[in-house]
Amino acid sequence: MATITIQDSVTLYYKDWGTGQPVVFSHGWPLCADAFEDQMFFLAQHGLRAVAHDRRGHGRSSQPFTGNDLDTYADDLAALLTALDLKDAVLVGHSTGGGEVVRYLGRHGSARVAKIVLIGAIPPLMLQTPANPGGLPMAVFDGIREGVRKDRSRFFKDLTLPFYGYNRPGADVSEGVREDFWRQGMLAGFPAAYFCIKAFSETDLTEDLKKIDVPTLFLHGDDDQIVPIDASARAAIKLVKNAVLKEYPGGSHGICTTQKDQVNTDLLAFIQS
């Protein structure tokens, strides 16, 4: 297993496939680097270096009780880029990973970054507040916390239905995809599975978005039931210079799986543009 040891003695597991310009993936909650295997394999076949780590507390990385917040996640990403000496990188973040990428740019700048891609990403802010009336009520996130606390195995399996749009009429449901989501979710330690909910729901990334100074591509399903598009991508793009939003009609939160061929094509075209 390829690993690096970073701040507070945390070990991060990562995959590193192919050669060429690096494309670095940050996964969503409660998953791990395996969630991006379709994209990594495709890009590595097209002359690019695909790198993805398991976020602290997730997958095969260490499971510390502390540090399950976006500042630390961003600093861990910075440590990975530095350890592998990655330059001219394209950062790709899905869901919580999109928040990680945006917070990375806000804290560390773009010296190592050429472009970014945000897929079904959480910025600017998921939580409903007086300043963000389009967000989701706290009760939604309290319900997620209770689901994780009470029976996270069942909660993760049930979550696959709205995550991939499998609860929509006529959906082509893959039990294999559902089982793999459950497998990845159960690899996460309980602290990360629980505390990351606060990180992805309550972190305001508005000012970080304004600091982005590299070409940015938003990919988002317009039927995303996990991170609704109106309060996320459609709001975030207004804050980012030199950004493009591509909406996937009928697309779910899990478009990297359910519409992987289109996502792969869009990623490659953006990287090569």
pLDDT per residue over 130-159, tens digit each? 999 999 999 999 999 999 999 999 999 999
Torsion, Cα of 158, 202, 104, 66 (10° steps): -80
pLDDT digits (tens, 9 = 90+) for 101-134: 999 999 999 999 999 999 999 999 999 999 999 9
Mean pLDDT of 213-233: 98
**Dihedrals phi, psi of 205, to nearest 5 degrees:** -105, 15
Q: Return the SS3 of 46.
A: coil
pLDDT at position 87 is 98
User: pLDDT (tens digit, 9 = 90+) per residue, 169-208?
Assistant: 999 999 999 999 999 999 999 999 999 999 999 999 999 9
CA separation for the pair 67, 179 (Å, rounded): 28
CATH number at 260 reads 3.40.50.1820
Longest dimension (CA), the chain: 48
Query: How deeply is 191 buried, as exposed, middle or buried, from its count of CB atoms within 10 A (0-12, 13-18, 19+)?
Result: middle
Closest CA to 4 of 16, 18, 14: 14
Domain carrying residue 195: 3-272
Which residues form the catalytic set? 95, 224, 253
Number of structural domains in the chain: 1
Tell me, rounded to whole angstroms, the distance of Cα 111 from its chain centroid: 21
CB 139 within 8 A of CB 126: no
Parallel, antiparallel, or unpaired: how do β-strands 11-17 and 113-119 relate? Answer: unpaired
